[in-house]
Structure 1
Amino acid sequence: MPTQLAPARRSAPLTSGRLPTPRLYWLVAAGLVVLALATGTAAVADVRQRDTLLTDISEVKAPISVDAQTLYRSLADADATAATAFLSTGGESAELRGRFLDDLAQASAALTIALRDADDDETARLRVVAEQLPVYTGLVETARSNQRLGVPLGGAYLREASGLMQQTILPAAAGVFDSTHQRLVGEQEAADGLPWLTVLFALLLAGALVAAQMLVARRSRRTFNVGLVAASLVAVSALLWSATAINSSTGRLVTGQGSPAEQVAVLANAGRAALQARANESLTLVARGGGATFDKQFTAQLDELIGFDGKGGLLQEALAMADDVDRPAITQARDEANRWRALHLAVREADNGGDWNKAVELATATGEEALPAAFTRLDKALSEALTANNRELDEQAEGAAGALTGLTAGFVLLTAGLVVAVGLGFRPRIGEYR
C-alpha cells in the first residue's frame, strides 16, 4: 500500500517580479499599524489641545476679559461720577464720593491683575493707564478743592481731568479689552475647529483596512479575516465616539455671529458709550455755557448707544443677538436710554434758555422719574446683561470640556486594540507560508 504523504505548507511564490505573499502581508500589516498609531496620536493630540484651550478659556482668558471690562467700566464710571458730583448743590454727596473712590479701587485692582497676565502690547497700554491715573485723580482732587473754596478754576481742572480720561486713559483701557477679547475669541474658534489632520489619517486608515481585507480575501480565498474585521469595528467605534464627543463639544461652544463672546463686546461698548455720555452731559453744565463740545460728544455717544430715530445703535444690535433670557434686560436698557434722551432735552432747553440752575436741578434730581434714576436703571440693566453673557461664556467652555472627558484614554485603548487586531489578523495568514 503506497505511503500517504502529509500536505506540505504553502510556500511563498517565487515568481519573478512579484512580491512574495508573506512579505507583502508583513508590509501591509506594518503599514496598518503605522497608520493606526498615527491616527491615534493625531486624535489624542487634538483632544488634548482642545481640552487645554477650553481650560484656558474658562480659567484664564475669560477672567482676563472680565478684568479688562472691570478696568474700563470702573474708569468710565469714575469719570461720570466725578462730573455728576461736581454739579451737586450743597456740596458733594457722600454717596457719590464713595462711588468714585470705589471705582478707583476696583480699577486699581483690575489693573494689577491685568498686568500680571498681559502680553507686550497690552502691557504698554496698561502702563499708560497706570501712569496717567494718578494724574487724573490729582486733577479731580484739585477741582474738588477749588469747588469747596468757591474758586471758579474748579470746573477747568475737572474738564482737564475728564479730557485726560476720555482721550488717553479710556482709549488705552479699551485697547486692552479689545486685545484680551480677541484672544478669547481666537481660542474659542480654535477649540471649535474641525480636526483636519485626524480626519485625514482616519480616512487613510479606513481605506487601508478595506484594501487589506480585499487583498487577504483574494490571496487566501477566505471572504472574511476575523482580525481585520475586528480592527475595522474598532476603527468605526473610535470614529463614532470621537465624532459624537467632538460634535457635542463644538455644539456647546457657540462662536461667530450672535455668540455670547460677540454679545459681550457689544454690551461692553454700550456700557462705555452710556458712561461717557453721562460724563459729557454733566461736563456740559459744568462749563456754564461753554460746553458745546461736550454736548456734541454726548449726542454722538447716545446715537451710538440707541441710534437715531429708533434705527441702529449698539442696544438694537444687542437685541438682535439676544436670547429670551437676555432680552428683557437689554430691552429695559433701550427703553431707559430713550427716556434719558427725552429728559436730557429738557435739561438742554433750560440751559440754552439761560436757566442754568434749573438745568442742574433737572440733571441731578432725585426720584424714579428723574434723569439720574433713568441712567442708573440703564446702567444696571447693561451690567446684568453683560454679567449673564460672561457667565454663559464660562458655562459653555466648561460644558465643551466636559464632553471630551475620557476621550484621550479611550483613543489610547482603541488604538492599542486596533494594533492587536491587525496583528491577530495577519499572523495566521503569514504562518501558512512557513
Structure 2
Amino acid sequence: MPRLTRRLVTPDLYRLIAATLVVLGLALGGTALATVHHRSGLTRDITGVSGPLSVSAQELYRSLSDADATAANAFLANGAEPAALRQRYLDDLAQAGAALTVAARDADDADTARLAVLTDQLPVYSGLVETARSYNRLGVPLGGAYLREASALMRQTLLPQAQALFESAQGRLGGAQRDAAGLPWPILLLGLLAVAALLTAQVLLARRTNRVFNVGLVAASLVALIMLAWSAVALGAAATRVEAGRQEGSKVVTTLATARRAALQARADEALTLVARAGSGAMENDYDVAMRDLAGLLGAAAVQAPEADRKLIRQAREHASRWQKLHDGMRELDDKGDYLAAVAKATATGPADLPAAFSELDSAVSAALAVANERVARQAGNGGRALTGLEIALLLLTAGLTAAVILGFRPRIGEYR
C-alpha cells in the first residue's frame, strides 16, 4: 500500500479506495442477501416439502405394515373375519394410496422408481390377500399359502421400498436442516473485512486531510456494522431454532419410526406364527428379535426426546411390556397344543386383551411421532420468521453503504479540481 500511494496522485488514490470500499460493500450486501434468501428457502422447504414428505413416508410404511398384520389377524377368524379388522385393512390400503400420491409430488428419480414398484405391486398384494380370504371362507387350507405369499411380497418388496422412501425423505430433511443451521462464514469474513477497510480508509484520510472524521465513511462504517450484526443475529437465531428441530425432532422421529416398524413387524410375526401353526419356530424368533429392537429403540427415544415428550414414550414402553406378557401367555397355550385357545387369546377384543395392548402401543408411538414431527415444522417456521424483513433491509443498507462511501469521498476528490 505505501508504494501504491506514492505512485498514485491523491485524487486517483481516493478513487481507488472508494471503488474498493464500494466493491466490498456490494460483496457484503450481495453475499448476505444470497445467504438469507437461501436460508429462508431452506426453512420453507422443511415446512412445506421435505418435512411433509417425511411424514407421508412414515404413514406409508405404517399403513402397509399394519395392513399386513391386520390381514394375518383377520385370517385367524376361520371364515368371515370381524368387520372391524376388515375395515382397518381397507383403511390401511386407502391411507397407503393417499401417502403414495403425496410422495409422488416431490419425488426425485430414485424415489420415482421406488414409487413405481409400490404402485405396481400393491394391487398384486391385495389380490393375494383377497384370494387367501376366499379360500379361508371356504375352509380350504390353501388360503394360508396365499396369505404367506402376500406377506412375503409385502416384507421383501413393498416394505423395503417404503423404508427407502422414508430414508430418502429423512436424508433430504436432514440436509436442509444442516444447511440452514450452518455458520454464515462468508458474511462474517466479508463484514469484518469491510469494517476494517472502512476504518483504514478513515485513518488514511485523517492523516492526509487533517480532519478527524469523515462523515460519509463514519456513516458507511455504522451501516456495515448494522448489516454484519443484524445478519449474524438473525441467521444465528434461525440456525439455533432449526438445529433444535433437528436434535429434538428429526432424530427422535427416526428413532420412533424405527420403533414403530419393529412393533408392526412383531405384530405380523405373532399372527403369521399362528396362521402357519408353526409353534415357536422361525417367525417366533423374528418376533423376539423385533421386540428386543422395540425395547431398545423406545429407550433411546426416551433419552433423545425433550422431557415434555417422554410421558408418551414411557406409556409406549408400558404397553409394550403388557403386550409381551399377553403374548407369552398366548404362546404358552399354543405350545401346550391348545391352538384354539391361543387363537382366541390373540383375537380377543376386550380392553385388557392382547390386540388392545398392541393398539395402545401403536397409538402412543404414533402420538409421540406426531409431536416430534410438529416440532420439526414449528422450529423451522420459527427460524424462517427470524429472517423476516432482513432481505429488504439488506437491499436498503447496501444502497446506503454505497452512497455513504461515495458521499464521503466526493468532497475530498473535488478539492483537487
TM-score (norm 2): 0.96
**Which runs of 5 or more structure 1 residues have no equivalent in the other structure?**
1-14, 307-312
Which residue is equivalent to 1:330? 313
Which residue is equivalent to 1:228? 217
Q: Could you tell me which of 159, 182, 192 is aligned with 1:203?
A: 192
Which residue is equivalent to 2:393? 410
2:297 is equivalent to residue 314 of structure 1: yes
Give runs of aligned pairs for residues 207-218 of structure 1, distance below 5 A: 207-218=196-207
Which residue is equivalent to 2:116? 127
SS at match of 1:325: helix
2:158 is equivalent to residue 175 of structure 1: no
Give runs of aligned pairs for residues 209-288 of structure 1, distance below 5 A: 209-254=198-243, 258-288=247-277
**Cα deviation code 1:90-127 (max 9, x no counterpart):** 63011100010010011112112212321111111111
2:408 is equivalent to residue 425 of structure 1: yes
Contact 2:245 2:376 in 1 (8 A): no
Give runs of aligned pairs for residues 22-171 of structure 1, distance below 5 A: 22-88=11-77, 91-171=80-160
| Cα distance in 1, alignment partners of residues 246 and 34 from structure 2 | 29
Contact 1:234 1:418 in 2 (8 A): yes
Q: How many residues align?
A: 414
Contact 1:74 1:106 in 2 (8 A): yes
Residue 207 (structure 1) shift: 1.4
| Cα distance in 2, alignment partners of residues 90 and 127 from structure 1 | 34
| Cα distance in 1, alignment partners of residues 110 and 227 from structure 2 | 43
SS at match of 2:387: coil
One-letter amino acid of the counterpart of residue 369, structure 1? A
Q: 1:152 to 1:89 in 2, by over 3 A?
A: closer
Residue 285 (structure 1) shift: 0.6
Specify which structure has the higher proportion of helix.
2
**Cα deviation code 1:188-245 (max 9, x no counterpart):** 1111112222222112211111110111111112222111111111111111211221
Residue 17 (structure 1) shift: 5.0
One-letter amino acid of the counterpart of residue 18, structure 2? A
Contact 1:254 1:260 in 2 (8 A): no
| Cα distance in 2, alignment partners of residues 302 and 123 from structure 1 | 32
Q: Hey, which bits of structure 1, 4+ residues long, moved more than 6 A?
A: none
2:179 is equivalent to residue 193 of structure 1: no
| Cα distance in 2, alignment partners of residues 384 and 221 from structure 1 | 71
Residue 259 (structure 1) shift: 2.8
Q: Could you tell me which of 315, 325, 330 is aligned with 1:347?
A: 330
Which residue is equivalent to 1:4? none
Contact 1:136 1:161 in 2 (8 A): yes
Contact 1:189 1:255 in 2 (8 A): no
| Cα distance in 1, alignment partners of residues 30 and 71 from structure 2 | 59
Structure 1 residues 319-328 or 73-82, which shifts more?
319-328
| Cα distance in 2, alignment partners of residues 167 and 257 from structure 1 | 31
One-letter amino acid of the counterpart of residue 374, structure 1? A
Contact 2:178 2:243 in 1 (8 A): no
CA RMSD of aligned residues (A): 1.6
Which residue is equivalent to 1:381? 364
**Which runs of 5 or more structure 2 residues have no equivalent in the other structure?**
none
Q: 1:425 to 1:17 in 2, by over 3 A?
A: closer
Residue 132 (structure 1) shift: 1.4
Q: Could you tell me which of 338, 343, 346 is aligned with 1:363?
A: 346
One-letter amino acid of the counterpart of residue 271, structure 2? S
Contact 1:329 1:382 in 2 (8 A): yes
Residue 342 (structure 1) shift: 1.4
| Cα distance in 1, alignment partners of residues 56 and 352 from structure 2 | 33
2:369 is equivalent to residue 399 of structure 1: no
| Cα distance in 2, alignment partners of residues 32 and 70 from structure 1 | 55
Q: 1:63 to 1:257 in 2, by over 3 A?
A: closer
One-letter amino acid of the counterpart of residue 42, structure 2? L
| Cα distance in 2, alignment partners of residues 257 and 391 from structure 1 | 12
SS at match of 2:307: coil
